[in-house]
Chain A
Amino acid sequence: QKEVEQDPGPLSVPEGAIVSLNCTYSNSAFQYFMWYRQYSRKGPELLMYTYSSGNKEDGRFTAQVDKSSKYISLFIRDSQPSDSATYLCAMITGGGNKLTFGTGTQLKVEL
């Protein structure tokens, strides 16, 4: 079993929809949780960074962490065609230095 599980999609939604992306993990030592966005043939770009359980909002993006369930989510409101990309969850232990990534969810937002 992988340490981080993420539904690979692809996920196709109409413009303006609310998108929900999710990851589960098995290592309770993970303390920092990130969401990266990766456009085709580009490097991952950090979108959201969270530490504690709860919600963190940044514009149209909300990251949610539930450490008791070992579950993290990213919500995208009012999705735009420019949001079409692969979204990768990543996490790291407190004393660690290597990110462990999910496989990524490919999202397409259609006009």
Chain B
Amino acid sequence: DSGVTQTPKHLITATGQRVTLRCSPRSGDLSVYWYQQSLDQGLQFLIHYYNGEERAKGNILERFSAQQFPDLHSELNLSSLELGDSALYFCASSVTGGGQETQYFGPGTRLLVL
């Protein structure tokens, strides 16, 4: 158990809908990262938050947004969902976000868009 929690574990929804994925980092970690894992693209970095502020963006679609709250949990919002958004979404956390730090991954949320 990495100490990173994610809810829900599974999500099934329809095209055009909006969903929110939630992540709680390890105790003491200030940085939260979101990654998407699909069969054709592998694990892709989406976005990084540090202590409530956005630090870096990767291949995140404009339909997706995220935030980190004062209690350091983070939410990833996916809207106008398309079939191709079906994937595993992982959250990871680290202490401050430096390149030398280990990122610990949560169990993921499996999203299926029908």
* Chain A residues at the B interface, C-beta cutoff of 8 Å: 31-32, 34, 36, 41-46, 49, 51, 88, 90, 92-104
User: Whose C-beta in chain A lies nearest to the C-beta of B94?
Assistant: A97
Q: How many contacts A-B (CB < 8 Å)?
A: 65
Since A96-B56, A97-B97, A101-B44 are in contact, a sample of 9 more A-B pairs with Cβ atoms closer than 8 Å, ordered by chain A residue number, is: A43-B107, A49-B102, A92-B99, A93-B99, A94-B99, A96-B99, A97-B33, A98-B45, A103-B42
CA distance A32 to B102 in the complex (A): 10
22 contacts between A and B (CB under 8 A): A31-B99, A32-B99, A32-B100, A34-B102, A41-B108, A42-B107, A43-B90, A43-B105, A44-B105, A46-B104, A88-B43, A95-B99, A97-B33, A97-B50, A97-B56, A98-B33, A98-B48, A99-B43, A99-B45, A99-B92, A101-B44, A103-B42
The residues of B that contact A97 with a CB separation of less than 8 Å are 31, 33, 48, 50, 55-56, 97-99
